[in-house]
Structure 1
């Protein structure tokens, strides 16, 4: 486990940054913010913003790049609006409704978009531009969604539980209660496809969804609101309100 030090900090957003995603096969990345904007950056020279996308009428809560159509960027805001941006033409190409917390494209193919809205997850078919499934079962607001590496399963996290859904049937096939740990984030481990890593308050919960076994790892001194995984390195990164990022294998 390593703790990262900040190399460069970009501070052009007027309010807190809510999400950050890299553009596939690129040095570019996008950030979303409570200042109602989405900004595009060059990681090789992040001292200034390449472009600012405006149009959201509320705090922008999440952003994500399409895995194959890499000029497509998606964002959502607190009013439930979803905007699709063309980052080559610097323009909004489509507006939908149905996400308030987070948006995540299905990996590899990118046929579907998972959109967390209050206590449900809407699954959008991007070609048909409509909701094909609404995953219901959470009693509290959903903070995070994540796909498995193949895009067959989706996990959703609320404060009191995490659920794993089958994209084919739309059914919840696995569920884990938080037992007071205040779950907030999740990611499938890049090397162990049945292992879901869940971020809570100060600790990580490692959950084998097939064996139904869990292990708690003390990780930070505060809430862990974000997790990321790297298939190329087999590592998981955890970001915490204690102002640290840690890498795990």
Structure 2
């Protein structure tokens, strides 16, 4: 990662786009297979802000796209979750029943449902088309709930974790807690597609838990600082973990599960969020303080783009539209393509 950052005014938009294009190229000017196909289709790689909205009067902490890419959900310090039309960033509806900071928002992959978690120690599930009242309110956590996720192919199952390290499985159909165990205090994320694993963050370790048995299949270690963020790539074959000063990418293909394949370090201690690019599999997007960092993992090349006026607290991607959303403590949400 670059030690010094240039002022955003030192380069024009055209020059920045040229830099982004070079980032996905190999040293000899060729591109890897995935990037090559996409560049041929789109006649050149680009990554630029396409829309933005002041989403809240206070810090925005989380964002997520619906599976069809048509809606974007955000939440934060104003205790509200907002559903936005993703193409225009016009508000669709506002959810206002939490009584403290909203820490996470996650759409169901197959049903019109949204799950939210909050410092008020509750997890709620909402009908996207009728969000006036929560469909389920799950009570049982004794500490602030930090994260929530919905299983990719079991519509009934959601998962949450709290600051005491307690993980709970909830049944939407029964409206009750299905299982309680320990292992995560920062974030939980189901493996996409198969949903075989649950990645749970506690301190500087990511535990890869078997969804059926809760047995720890892998303990991903190497970060020296607390992990802020984890994300899977859309295939479920790679997981990225991020602390303030480093990003690690782990492979979960058969025969190499839990292997760290790429590492990026940063002396600035300002890394906050991360996401795999929805189209270019070798490109990661990292949310920092005011900047988005683009990291070509295979070439280990990076560049940064001015993006916000505060920490970029959350990133979301849509594989349907190719859009990337960034949410920030500066109260703004932006779309990138």
TM range (shorter): over 0.9
Deviations 1:172-195 (A, max 9, x none): 211111231511111101111111
> Structure 2 residue aligned with 1:58, among 140, 143, 158?
143
1:16 pairs with 80, 101, 120, which one? 101
Gaps of 5+ in 1: none
- Give the C-alpha shift of residue 130 in structure 1: 0.6
**1:1-249 matched pairs, under 5 angstroms:** 1-3=50-52, 4-167=89-252, 168-180=256-268, 182-249=270-337
Q: How many residues align?
A: 249
Unaligned runs of 5+ in 2: 1-49, 53-88
| 1:56 alignment partner, SS class | coil
More strand by share: 1
C-alpha separation in 1, matches of 2:271 and 2:94: 28
Query: What CA distance in whole angstroms lies between the structure 1 residues aligned with 2:314 and 2:226?
Result: 16
| 8 Å contact kept, 2:262–2:297 | yes
* Secondary structure, counterpart of 2:291 in structure 1: strand
Note the C-alpha offset of 1:5.
Answer: 4.8
SS of corresponding position for 2:111: coil
User: In structure 2, the residue corresponding to 1:137 is in which secondary structure?
Assistant: coil
Aligned alpha-carbon RMSD (Å) = 1.2
Normalized against structure 2, the TM-score is what? 0.72
Whole-Å separation in 1 of the counterparts to 2:105 and 2:268: 28
SS at match of 2:93: coil
Partner Cα separation in structure 2 for residue 187 and residue 90 of structure 1: 31
Q: Which has the higher contact order (CA 8 A, sep 6+)?
A: 2
Task: Considering fraction of residues, name the structure with more helix.
Answer: 2
